[in-house]
Amino acid sequence: MNLSSTLHRFTVVPSLPKELAGLQRIAYNLWWSWEPEAIGLFKRLDPELWRLTRHNPLEVLGSLQQATFESLMADEGFMSHLSQVEERLTEYLSSHTWYERHGNSGARIAYFSMEFGLHESLPIYSGGLGILAGDHLKSASDLGLPLVGVGLLYRQGYFRQYLNLEGWQQEIYPENDFYNLPLHQEKDRDGKPVAFSLEYPGRNVRVQVWRVQVGRVNLYLLDTNLEENAPADREITTRLYGGDQELRIRQEILLGIGGIRALRLLGAEPNVCHMNEGHAAFLALERIRSLMEQRQLTFREAMEAVRGGNVFTTHTPVEAGIDHFPPDLLDQYMGHYYRNLGLSREQFMALGMQNHGRSNESFCMAVLAMKLSLHSNGVSELHGEVSRRMWADVWPDLPEEQLPLTYVTNGVHQKSWLSEEMTGLLIRFLGTRWLEQSADQLWRRVSRIPDAELWRTHRRGTEQLVDYARRSLRAQLEKLDASAKEIDAAGDVLDPEILTIGFARRFATYKRGTLLLHDKERLFRILNHPERPVQIVFAGKAHPADHQGKELIRQIVQLSQQPEFRRRIVFLEDYDISVARRLVQGVDIWLNTPLRPLEASGTSGMKVAFNGGLNLSILDGWWCEGYRGNNGWAIGRGEVYDDLAYQNQVESRAIYDLLEKEIVPLFYNRGNDGIPRGWTTFMKSSMQTLCPVFSTDRMVQEYARRCYLPAFEHWERLNRDDLRLAVELARWKERLHGMWGELSIVAVHAEIQKEVMVGEMLPISVQITPGRIPLSEIAVEVYFGVLDSRGAIIGGEIVPLTPVADPEKAGHFGGELECRFCGRHGFMLRVMPRHPELGTVYDPGLILWG
């Protein structure tokens, strides 16, 4: 008998009296998670339960008894707290926003991500990428962007970590109880749940759509765990980053193709799509396919129309961090799709390969995303550079620095990461406008905060961290049936008065979590110095399949169990948003030791800066832009060594030296009042220089200005008049491809003396024969600049040449180069297509260098 067909299901929801209905309204909008007053409201209901439910308001509400409701309603203080928070929410949702002043009402942006880290009670994230996506949505809400999020709703999410007595990581996968999460099931006009069928090889999979409200922003989450689906298909949304490549491609089909279908079904079809990493790149194909079908277009025509409206962000320079699929797997899962797109297998594979034709290249989702997006970017200045090198073959005939692959440096959502105490202090001295905009002038006012107040506010964070670490360590040991003596001893680890270093991140080997342990004797002396001791709090998960990562964790845990380190080193288990928050609010120093240049950006150091902690980091990712000499410390100068063992030795020594000679003395050099003035000066310059820059407010504004709005405008132009321009552009390019071979450069003449003075103008003339290509459809340009030691142009500029007016001289172009800098210069000539409405156009294969 099929038992599931006889099982009657029903859902019980908390039945709140109408006086308390506001609690539910607030709990269903994640806005509460960055509003201290709202957090305080839920905590007040039952502080113990609040902690036990991992700060989940719905679970707390669900377990309250009738008697509690009555006493709450009789509590005037509580009722006025509730109405205050509710008013605030209403006010937030209706206030004027940045986007209303700067945006465009026609844009509809969809942000796609495999994971979203919004709050610890909604565990559908694993780490940095998800947290960034969560912070992106929150700032998009604050700024009022017309943006929706699209992701997957995992039944088990990412694993939770606990450590056995040997320090070996164990993984557990608790089920997410959807009815205790702030999820709305999307319903259509008839009140039926929104669901649709998605084609997989040989079958259709049913997908349903949930919504999470993040302030003003809707986050749509897709779910295949439905009875009508086969067990293997129900697994698609079980775990984040679990399973093999086959499961991954199924998830990515769901996210990209399913995501676009869901939005269309909801009447929220976007015109700008942002792919947060390559996982969602299939969305570009679905946009093309659907346009081809609706308007009877060819692949190229539809691609021209869609590409302008796609934005892609890459997050890793680590090859293993990027999805690659073997062509066979694509045949199996996307075979029907190539045919729908009117592409041959060859043509389809070329979309996901840098260098099609090179043997055994696999299909790369990042390449697909870049080929089908007009805007691509890395996440810090250095990562932009590294990415251009890494992906140079996607744009085969452009010089590296000219690739359409720029950078937008990451940030953090300040309100989500600031401690309540620090927020209060900042409001007192900066006012409240810094909460809405990140202006330099406002942050300069940090200098007005009395040193003692800043110091004490930060110490409060350390006290809370120490308190939390003790409780957490106790609980860890109790779970493992440790001896009463051991459990008791957890009560005296750490000390809120001493210099506290934090190190928490994914235990991937390139992050070098054990670099600080390189010389244990020296570490021992630093930590146990009689007058100036130091302590370290570690946390972080290793991917379940990463044994090397787990080994690093084990080494740290075992060290922390040795008597001479026991009070000075603690490893906190189950690193998540909640643990991260305590850490970044309580540490004095945030240590970051990636192998340059493998950390694309990093964001936890930014969270620390907002709370007055200082960074000690390798010059990698964001810290290359953030470090100013007097706002934290750099380990090394950005050197890259060939010998890893040697590099580890040099860089661990550099850390010990910095600690012994600069950091520890600065921290313990106190005035008569016990305040370390030198240290607070560093804290202030760190806050002044970093806070206005490394926030998602700045970041999302930058995406809006530099990517979303240009993408929308481009998309609009191409789609206007029934896609006239898109169709024309595709056909025009096709025509040019047919004639391009006829084009040649006959002569180049520049009057170069041996030495040219700065500021001098160099006349240059060129003769070309265009073949059948009309002269009005090509641009002749000089790419010109200073040469580096390898003879490559750096920081080059493009100087357009103009046709010579003399009708006798058809095909002659001329112009002048201005030599604005000293040094060796070089120039290269190039001919590119020029479209009457779009100007110079780059298309692979349509460029002639001379």
Q: What is the binding site for ligand PLP (CB under 6 A)?
A: 127-128, 131, 505, 575-577, 580, 602-604, 607
Q: How far is CA 311 from CA 94, 115, 280, 402, in A?
A: 29, 18, 11, 18
Q: How far is the CB of 577 from ligand PLP (least distance, A)?
A: 5
Instruction: Select 72 or 577, whichever has its Cβ closest to ligand PLP.
Output: 577
> Cβ distance 635 to 618 under 8 Å?
yes
Instruction: Select 417 or 565, whichever has its Cβ closest to ligand PLP.
Output: 417
Instruction: Select 259 or 602, whichever has its Cβ closest to ligand PLP.
Output: 602
Q: How far is the CB of 503 from ligand PLP (least distance, A)?
A: 10
Instruction: Select 315 or 388, whichever has its Cβ closest to ligand PLP.
Output: 315
In the chain, the largest separation of any two C-alpha atoms, in whole Å, equals 99
Instruction: Select 216 or 582, whichever has its Cβ closest to ligand PLP.
Output: 582
Q: How far is CA 427 from CA 162, 267, 423, 518, 646, in A?
A: 38, 41, 6, 42, 47
> Cβ distance 724 to 826 under 8 Å?
no
Residues 131 and 253: their CA atoms lie apart, in Å, by 23
Q: How far is the CB of 539 from ligand PLP (least distance, A)?
A: 9
- Chain-centre distance for alpha carbon 568: 33
Instruction: Select 543 or 714, whichever has its Cβ closest to ligand PLP.
Output: 543
Using alpha carbons only, how large is the chain's radius of gyration in Å?
29
Q: How far is the CB of 117 from ligand PLP (least distance, A)?
A: 7
What distance, in Å, lies between the first and last C-alpha atoms of the chain?
77
Contacts 24+ apart (CB under 8 A), 78-84: 78/44, 79/19, 81/37, 81/40, 81/41, 81/44, 82/20, 82/22, 82/23, 82/41, 83/22, 84/37
Cα atoms in the 13 Å half-sphere on the side-chain side of 369: 29
Q: Return the percent helix, strand and coil in the chain, to nearest 5.
A: 45, 20, 35
Q: How far is the CB of 600 from ligand PLP (least distance, A)?
A: 8
Alpha helices, DSSP H, located in 144-218: none
Q: How far is the CB of 599 from ligand PLP (least distance, A)?
A: 7
Instruction: Select 125 or 325, whichever has its Cβ closest to ligand PLP.
Output: 125
Instruction: Select 258 or 621, whichever has its Cβ closest to ligand PLP.
Output: 621
Structure tokens at 93: 């949702």
Q: 410-430 burial, b for 16+ CB within 10 Å, e for fewer?
A: bbbbbbbbbbebbbebbeebb
**Cis peptide bond upstream of 597, omega within 30:** yes
Q: How far is the CB of 601 from ligand PLP (least distance, A)?
A: 7
Give the position of tokens 């030691």: 789
Instruction: Select 148 or 508, whichever has its Cβ closest to ligand PLP.
Output: 508
Q: How far is the CB of 140 from ligand PLP (least distance, A)?
A: 18
Q: How far is the CB of 514 from ligand PLP (least distance, A)?
A: 16
> Cβ distance 553 to 571 under 8 Å?
yes
Q: How far is the CB of 389 from ligand PLP (least distance, A)?
A: 21
Q: How far is the CB of 372 from ligand PLP (least distance, A)?
A: 27
Q: How far is the CB of 575 from ligand PLP (least distance, A)?
A: 6
Instruction: Select 24 or 464, whichever has its Cβ closest to ligand PLP.
Output: 464
> Cβ distance 14 to 61 under 8 Å?
yes
Instruction: Select 580 or 723, whichever has its Cβ closest to ligand PLP.
Output: 580
- Sequence-distant (6+) residues with CB within 8 A of 42 are 23, 27, 32, 50, 55, 57, 60
Q: How far is the CB of 606 from ligand PLP (least distance, A)?
A: 8
Q: How far is CA 92 from CA 215, 293, 319, 402, in A?
A: 8, 41, 42, 42
Which of 714, 730, 727 shows the shortest CA–CA distance to 295? 727
Instruction: Select 421 or 576, whichever has its Cβ closest to ligand PLP.
Output: 576
Instruction: Select 252 or 576, whichever has its Cβ closest to ligand PLP.
Output: 576
Q: How far is CA 333 from CA 213, 271, 300, 443, in A?
A: 33, 26, 22, 52
Q: 3-state DSSP call for residue 632?
A: strand
DSSP state of 661: I
Q: 791-819 burial, b for 16+ CB within 10 Å, e for fewer?
A: eebeebeebebeebeeeeeebbbbbebeb
Q: Residue 762's beta-bridge partner residues?
A: 817
Q: How far is the CB of 132 from ligand PLP (least distance, A)?
A: 8
Q: How far is the CB of 602 from ligand PLP (least distance, A)?
A: 4
Instruction: Select 300 or 550, whichever has its Cβ closest to ligand PLP.
Output: 550
Q: How far is the CB of 823 from ligand PLP (least distance, A)?
A: 38
Instruction: Select 575 or 784, whichever has its Cβ closest to ligand PLP.
Output: 575
Residues 795 and 83: their CA atoms lie apart, in Å, by 57
| Beta-strand relationship, 169-172 and 147-152 | unpaired
Q: How far is the CB of 131 from ligand PLP (least distance, A)?
A: 4
- Sequence-distant (6+) residues with CB within 8 A of 124 are 115, 116, 117, 130, 151, 152, 153, 154, 157, 158, 176, 221, 240
Instruction: Select 167 or 411, whichever has its Cβ closest to ligand PLP.
Output: 411
- Sequence-distant (6+) residues with CB within 8 A of 470 are 490, 491, 492, 493, 494
Residues 168 and 246: their CA atoms lie apart, in Å, by 29
Instruction: Select 388 or 607, whichever has its Cβ closest to ligand PLP.
Output: 607
Q: How far is the CB of 591 from ligand PLP (least distance, A)?
A: 11
The three state secondary structure string of 34-65 is HCHHHHHHHHHHCHHHHHHCCCCHHHHHHHCC
Instruction: Select 127 or 411, whichever has its Cβ closest to ligand PLP.
Output: 127
> What values do phi and psi take at 320, rounded to 5?
-70, -15
